């Protein structure tokens, strides 16, 4: 059975209603339990839980420090290409957007590697748009091999692939694959993804399963906040996480639910998530699953990222660029979205250390490959 089979008969509006119907009693019951169900999770992200946020924050900090210690993982995205055949209406890489397009050559990849290594990183996340004719599996596999010579951990956030292709990526040296559903609302999915390979809801939804079946060390999952009701998105994400940890328990899992940022095309979010609500969702997930990694990118404000260092986040990006070639030759006309926190790595590291945490620039040793 695939995850799709477990949610195909659910009605989005009914799931939303079930969250808003949770009571004070439901929240207190969830907070008292050692092992939580999805129904308990609904209570923790419901409006009824808003007056328990301080207690949830304390629990999140305690759980995170017990499980991960007082450390913060640093990672950095490296965009290989902004070529894309998809028509995602919210994305700066949308095929219809009149922006400059670029795919890095070997020499340009090595230039990026040199700059990123000079920043202290030993952990890189490779990203592309979805354009297999120019940036296909062969190109990505080759890029992994180039990076593997210089980084202990090489991770991917690219378009969905077949299981056999993920096996190739793992053999080339890839440690993790991150794939976000964007929205779990199947009826509305086509509105945001009208054309291109990404318009296939079920194919994208099944990606974490194919990644795990390929034997990848870690799978990253999430939703893009701003398209649909955030509380409902979080319920589906919790169900997805529970399905994966039950059926593919050998794999590690990471979550992220980034909020939309300004990008080419000027798309405006349909639903807003405040910083307080972001906190509620993050703490609910930490209490729901003590072992998951939770990342926070430079989409979020510096003030927000400062406050979450000790409250449940396990990894952050720093000094990021979202344009291909952006570390050696920055060009805002090529970027996917405008970042929010533009501090460099040294400034971020100083902030983390002031809060009594150590910084880790890799989470995988070369000797384990």
What pLDDT does 362 receive?
72
**In the chain, what is the straight-line distance between the N-terminal and C-terminal CA atoms, in Å?**
31
What pLDDT does 265 receive?
63
Per DSSP, helices labelled H in the chain are 3-7, 12-20, 24-32, 38-45, 53-68, 106-118, 137-148, 163-172, 186-192, 201-205, 207-213, 230-247, 275-288, 302-308, 345-354
Q: Is 97 helix (H, G, I), strand (E, B) or coil?
A: coil
> Nearest CA to 91 among 258, 221, 327, 276?
258
Q: Are strands 315-317 and 174-178 parallel, antiparallel or unpaired?
A: unpaired
- Residue 336: which pLDDT band, with cuts at 50, 70 and 90? low
* 3-368 under CATH 3.20.20.70, yes or no: yes
What pLDDT does 334 receive?
54
Kindly tell me if the per-residue pLDDT of 171 is higher than 70. yes
What pLDDT does 129 receive?
87
- What is the spatial distance between Cα 200 and Cα 322, in angstroms, rounded to a whole number? 25
- pLDDT, one tens digit per residue, over 121-132 is 999 999 998 888
- What is the spatial distance between Cα 31 and Cα 170, in angstroms, rounded to a whole number? 39
**Annotated domain spans of the chain:** 3-368
- What is the spatial distance between Cα 17 and Cα 352, in angstroms, rounded to a whole number? 39
- pLDDT, one tens digit per residue, over 215-262 is 999 999 999 999 999 999 999 999 999 999 999 999 999 999 988 866
Q: What is the DSSP letter of 194?
A: -
The mean predicted confidence, pLDDT, of the chain is 92
Kindly tell me if the per-residue pLDDT of 187 is higher than 80. yes
Percent of the chain with pLDDT over 70: 95
Alpha-carbon dihedral sign for residues 321, 262, 296, 183: negative
Entry pTM? 0.94
Containing H/E element for 315?
A: strand 315-317
Over residues 92-97, mean pLDDT: 80
């Amino acid at each position: 059975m695939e995850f799709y089979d477990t949610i195909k008969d659910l009605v989005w509006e009914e799931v939303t209603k079930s969250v808003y119907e949770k009571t004070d009693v439901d929240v207190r019951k969830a907070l008292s339990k050692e092992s939580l169900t999805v129904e308990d999770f609904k209570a923790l992200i419901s409006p009824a839980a808003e007056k328990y946020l301080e207690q949830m924050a304390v629990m999140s900090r305690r759980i995170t420090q017990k499980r991960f210690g007082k450390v913060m993982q640093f990672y950095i995205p490296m965009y290989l290409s902004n070529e894309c055949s998809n028509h995602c209406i919210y994305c700066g890489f949308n095929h219809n957007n009149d922006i400059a397009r670029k795919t890095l050559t070997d020499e340009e990849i090595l230039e990026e590697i040199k700059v990123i290594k000079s920043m202290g990183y030993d952990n890189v996340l490779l990203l592309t748009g979805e354009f297999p004719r120019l940036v296909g599996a062969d190109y990505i596999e080759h890029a992994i091999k180039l990076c593997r010579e210089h980084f202990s951990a090489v991770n991917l956030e690219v378009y969905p692939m077949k299981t056999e292709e993920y096996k190739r990526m793992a053999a080339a040296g890839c440690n993790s694959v991150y794939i976000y559903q964007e929205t779990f609302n199947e009826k509305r999915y086509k509105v945001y993804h009208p054309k291109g390979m990404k318009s296939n809801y079920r194919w994208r939804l099944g990606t974490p399963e194919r990644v795990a079946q390929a034997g990848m060390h870690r799978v990253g999952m999430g939703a893009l906040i701003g398209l649909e009701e955030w509380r409902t998105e979080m319920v589906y994400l919790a169900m997805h996480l529970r399905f994966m940890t039950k059926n593919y328990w050998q794999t590690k899992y990471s979550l992220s639910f980034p909020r939309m940022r300004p990008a080419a095309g000027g798309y405006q979010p349909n639903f807003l998530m405040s910083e307080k609500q972001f906190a509620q969702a993050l703490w609910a997930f930490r209490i729901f699953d003590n072992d998951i990694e939770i990342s926070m990118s430079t989409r979020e404000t510096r003030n927000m990222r400062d406050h979450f260092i000790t409250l449940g986040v396990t990894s952050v990006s720093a000094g990021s660029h979202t344009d291909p070639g952006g570390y050696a030759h920055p060009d805002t006309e090529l970027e996917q979205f405008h970042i929010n926190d533009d501090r460099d790595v040294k400034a971020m590291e100083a902030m983390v250390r002031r809060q009594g945490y150590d910084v880790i620039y890799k989470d995988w040793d070369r000797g384990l490959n």
